[in-house]
């Protein structure tokens, strides 16, 4: 398939997802929710729509590839062929279809994927690949689902800080991209509006805060008044109806109380002063800052822990996202700042 043909079939997939009338896809989403309570139907649909709108539109795909010299290779041959390459993908399972961008990148680059799915999200992705084959049967040669990676030329693996050590040991001798734990942070200036707080709430609570792009920590000016923020975040109080969230909230509330830590409470969330970037479920960390220059120095020093910074436009000299857009990445918003398509192009 040529590059244009690969773009065409992805556009067809995007059109299919936007039509939102696929009963079999909905059945697979229900099956996923049955096996993984964190993956609600609402969140799975939101993820699919984000993929369809932000990734699978022709103008966005064509703009994305314009800055790369991607060859028009024919369909991949057997494993071990010279070129294209075979790329092993270890997909994460923290939020629905979080590994789709890697699958898309390998396909657009013209390589073949060996895909190891997460057991937490193993039903919808195979169906999406079958849909691609429905629109162009040649795509079948580009994707192989496997329980064990072998016979690959390079690897892209996503996991925790703990699993990344195993990835490094096993895949280190191959060209690789290995991702570890990261989280988003938000910087508040002190003059935010109700709508700003509501947008920030989406960054905190979407996908139950389980994504690497979810805000897990706030930086606020010294003497910050939390009450306006707490009032808005209370709008997500219905999260307490979700059993897994409620269990985590109750446990963390008890732990924080027993440790006699001070915290702010708003509906489904505790806000605790803590230097760590990553926070537990139903908990949000915060630190205070005195001036912008010292804050930026801190953020630069901790860039290996931070996926993105949500902040008011122009407040920082660092790259930032507007509130409410943390879980709305575009094709060039690469995880951990590593340009996946450039990595694949250079193999």
What digits encode the pLDDT tens for the residues 252-301?
999 999 988 899 999 899 999 999 999 999 999 999 999 999 999 999 99
Q: In order of start, what are the domains of the chain with their CATH numbers?
A: 3-180 (3.40.605.10), 183-310 (3.40.309.10)
The pLDDT score that the predictor gives to residue 76 is: 52
Residue length, the chain? Answer: 347
What 8-state DSSP symbol labels residue 39? S
- Identify the helix (H) or strand (E) that includes residue 294: helix 292-301
Task: Give which of 214, 185, 14 is closest to 98, Cα–Cα.
Answer: 214
* Distance from C-alpha of 251 to C-alpha of 163, rounded to nearest angstrom: 25
* Joined tokens for residue 152: 């690959």
The percentage of the chain sitting over the pLDDT mark of 70, rounded to a whole number, equals 97
Verify cis geometry, omega within 30 degrees of 0, for the bond prior to 145.
no
On the question of pLDDT at 26 being above 80, the answer is yes
Average pLDDT value for residue range 23-51: 97
Strands 269-273 and 283-289: parallel
User: Strand order in 306-310's β-sheet?
Assistant: 263-266, 269-273, 283-289, 215-221, 183-187, 306-310
On the question of pLDDT at 110 being above 50, the answer is yes
Q: What is the residue whose two structure tokens read 């139907």?
A: 41
Q: What is the DSSP string of 40-86?
A: -HHHHHHHHHHHHHHTS-HHHHHHHHTTS------S--STT-SSS-E
Give CA 343 to chain center in angstroms.
19
* Distance from C-alpha of 9 to C-alpha of 137, rounded to nearest angstrom: 10
What digits encode the pLDDT tens for the residues 138-157?
999 999 999 999 999 999 99
CA atoms within 13 A on the CB side of 256: 24
What digits encode the pLDDT tens for the residues 171-199?
989 999 999 999 999 999 999 999 999 99
Q: What is the residue whose two structure tokens read 């709008």?
A: 235
């Amino acid at each position: 398939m040529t590059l244009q043909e690969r773009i065409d079939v992805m556009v067809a997939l995007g059109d299919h997802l936007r039509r939102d009338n696929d009963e079999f896809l909905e059945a697979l989403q229900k099956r996923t929710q049955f096996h993984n309570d964190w993956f609600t139907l609402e969140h799975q649909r939101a993820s699919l729509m984000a993929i369809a709108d932000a990734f699978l539109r022709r103008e966005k795909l064509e703009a994305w590839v314009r800055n790369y010299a991607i060859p028009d290779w024919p369909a991949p041959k057997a494993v071990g062929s010279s070129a294209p390459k075979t790329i092993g993908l270890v997909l994460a399972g923290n939020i629905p279809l979080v590994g789709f961008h890697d699958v898309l990148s390998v396909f657009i680059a013209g390589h073949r994927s060996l895909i190891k799915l997460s057991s937490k999200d193993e039903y919808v992705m195979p169906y999406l690949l079958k849909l691609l084959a429905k629109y162009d049967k040649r795509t079948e040669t580009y994707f192989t689902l496997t329980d064990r990676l072998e016979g690959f030329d390079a690897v892209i693996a996503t996991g925790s800080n703990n699993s990344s050590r195993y990835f490094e040991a096993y895949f280190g001798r191959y060209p690789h991209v290995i991702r570890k734990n990261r989280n988003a942070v938000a910087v508040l200036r002190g003059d935010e509006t109700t709508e700003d707080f509501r947008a920030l709430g989406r960054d905190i609570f979407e996908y139950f805060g389980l994504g690497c792009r979810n805000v897990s920590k706030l930086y606020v000016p010294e003497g910050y008044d939390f009450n306006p923020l707490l009032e808005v975040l209370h709008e997500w109080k219905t999260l307490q109806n979700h059993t897994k969230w409620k269990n985590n909230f109750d446990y963390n509330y008890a732990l924080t109380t027993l440790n006699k830590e001070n915290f702010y409470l708003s509906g489904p969330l505790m806000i605790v002063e803590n230097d760590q970037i990553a926070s537990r479920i139903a908990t949000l960390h915060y630190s205070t800052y005195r001036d912008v220059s010292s804050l930026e120095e801190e953020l630069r020093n901790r860039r290996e822990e931070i996926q993105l910074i949500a902040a008011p436009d122009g407040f920082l000299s660092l790259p930032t996202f507007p509130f409410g857009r943390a879980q709305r990445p575009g094709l060039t918003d690469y995880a951990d700042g590593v340009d996946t398509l450039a990595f694949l192009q250079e193999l």
